[in-house]
Amino acid sequence: MSDLPNATKYRDLVDANPDMKAVIWSSLVLHDARSRNVMKEFIGSEEQRLPVCEKTDLNKGAAEDVVFTTMAPVRGQGVLGENELKSNTHKLNYGTFRVTVDLLRHAVSFTQLMNHMRKLSPHQASAKVMTEWYARKEEDDIQLTLREKALNEHPENLVRTGGRSSQADLDFADTFNTSAIEEAKAKLIAQGGMEIAMDNAPSGADNPQYILFGTDQVLRPLRRSQQYLLALRDADRRGDENRLFRGRYAMWENMVIYPHSMKIDSADGRQGSPLQPLAFLGTALSGDSATEVTGGGEKYAAGTSDYMAYLGGYHWKLHDSEDAPDGLGTKTFYAIIYNLTGEDKGKYEGISWSGSGNDGTKLTGVTRGVASILSDQDDNHTYDHPSGSMIIPCTENGVPLGYVLAMGAHALYYAKGSIPAEPIFHWDDFKNSRGEAHLTGVGMQGIRGMSPYRDTIKRLPNFLLIETAYSIPGVDLSASEA
């Protein structure tokens, strides 16, 4: 009996798509999962002063801690004249923080028959897919570690557009703008955030530089800001090289604005971005009695992958023994289920759930028809949602939620252990004379962990999370805005 599942079989591929018989000879297997680490420009050594500081301790194995040491600056008045110094010295104030590393593994498997198809190389294809999976997991871990720390454990690292004091106060008009940039920079400086670079003003004054990172959809309202547009018109270069025409973002307050494009692919798993979370409805909903909302979309209506992993309440773990933040399981989260197809296209419903109701695959214990998002008496309301409807995290008043990371140097420490990253293989069943087994598994593994930098008084000084409203192309929430 095999312990490796027949995860990919030629027969299943042909049953799902008869055209596979015609294209199976291709020398390359093209796939839609175009994952890549969009934060690769931010990762470097301690000397490079980038947001993610990478450290490798080859002596560390799974479930071990890598310890980092910090030291506080020294203050005091010193002594003047002939006054004694030896009894007025200051001691050095050290602090430490730990990053637990653990073994992370994942794999895909296929049958030997796939090897016999003309020019098909499942080993190469599987290795490529797994390499990209590892990169996507790495970029998600970085973003979610910072996002969840600010949302659940360190409220001092959270700011909101419009100067709002609570998430519920956010309005549809509180989108990302120049004021948010200026507030983020002022707060980073005030809390001792380490700059990635230091410029000098004409007067000679220091002008620290930080990075703003978010999805293009969440950052895009900045390009509609009157103040920002005037600056691009009056201060930027003329002609078709102007950033306004080329879709680029100019620095503001010496803050580097780094957008990335969030794409929806065909993977059986989470979609969107940690900074622009969303999901797609799996099993269709009919009526208001169902309290379970599954993920996956029309293609994966009965799937079991991590479709809801970006949504509120899910405990995104970095090591196996990591506990969920206090209170996460009892917090209330909100979302809109918006119909993209069907007779009720464009209609939607507000839902809520507690953190303990999100296991990554589905939402359970869901409250339907949240009136503060949209009354069930409104013409735009519906309780019926086809598979593939969009699930949009929002405030309790139906304002879609997005996030932007403001980061200085060493916002996060990324520790790697004795196995930074390597391919892994497994074979089952009978082998041929060339040593090829009928069932093959190809995967990736690595010992790794990460944590925000902590100073000697346990602050996380080198990053902020900006919570903001944003609009989604093709999604009309005008009923909620009214």
Q: Could you give the CA distance from residue 256 to residue 186 in angstroms, rounded to a whole number?
A: 15
Which token pair is 447? 């010992």
What is the domain count for the chain? Answer: 1
Q: Could you give the CA distance from residue 419 to residue 431 in angstroms, rounded to a whole number?
A: 29
Which pLDDT score, from 0 to 100, does residue 35 have?
46
**Could you list the residue range(s) of the whole structural domain that residue 26 is in?**
10-72+92-158+262-404+409-481
Q: What share of the chain is helix, strand, coil (3-state, %, to 5)?
A: 25, 30, 50
Q: Where do the H-state alpha helices sit in 236-335? A: 243-246
178 in a domain, yes or no?
no
191 in a domain, yes or no?
no
Q: How many CB atoms lie within 10 A of CB 124?
A: 13
223 in a domain, yes or no?
no
Q: How many CB atoms lie within 10 A of CB 203?
A: 6
Q: Could you give the CA distance from residue 250 to residue 254 in angstroms, rounded to a whole number?
A: 9
The phi and psi torsions of 408 (rounded to 5 degrees) equal -105, -165
206 in a domain, yes or no?
no
255 in a domain, yes or no?
no
Distance of CA 212 to the CA centre of its chain: 14
* Mean pLDDT per 10-residue interval, the chain, length 482 residues: 64 69 47 60 88 82 80 83 86 84 87 62 74 89 97 97 96 95 96 90 81 95 81 61 64 90 90 96 96 95 94 95 94 98 96 97 98 96 98 98 97 88 84 80 88 93 97 90 76
Whole-structure pTM value? 0.89
Q: Could you give the CA distance from residue 440 to residue 231 in angstroms, rounded to a whole number?
A: 58
Question: Residue written as tokens 């013409």?
Answer: 379
Q: Could you give the CA distance from residue 323 to residue 447 in angstroms, rounded to a whole number?
A: 19
Which token pair is 455? 């100073």
Which pLDDT score, from 0 to 100, does residue 26 have?
45
Per DSSP, the three-state class of 287 is: coil
281 in a domain, yes or no?
yes
Q: Could you give the CA distance from residue 353 to residue 49 in angstroms, rounded to a whole number?
A: 40
Which pLDDT score, from 0 to 100, does residue 470 have?
96
340 in a domain, yes or no?
yes
Q: Could you give the CA distance from residue 256 to residue 136 in angstroms, rounded to a whole number?
A: 23
Contact partners, residue 208, CB within 8 Å, separation at least 6: 185, 188, 189, 193, 195, 197, 198, 199, 254, 408
Which token pair is 108? 């895909």
Which DSSP category does 301 fall into? T
Contact partners, residue 144, CB within 8 Å, separation at least 6: 274, 310, 316
Alpha-carbon distances of 259 from 41, 149, 219, 405, 473, rounded to whole Å:
12, 22, 7, 11, 17
Q: Is the dihedral of CA 253, 255, 256, 257 positive or negative?
A: negative
Q: Could you give the CA distance from residue 181 to residue 195 in angstroms, rounded to a whole number?
A: 15
247, 257 Cβ separation under 8 angstroms:
no
175 in a domain, yes or no?
no
Which pLDDT score, from 0 to 100, does residue 240 have?
60
The phi and psi torsions of 107 (rounded to 5 degrees) equal -160, 160
Of residues 456, 442, 479, 425, the one with CA closest to residue 130: 442
Which DSSP category does 367 fall into? B
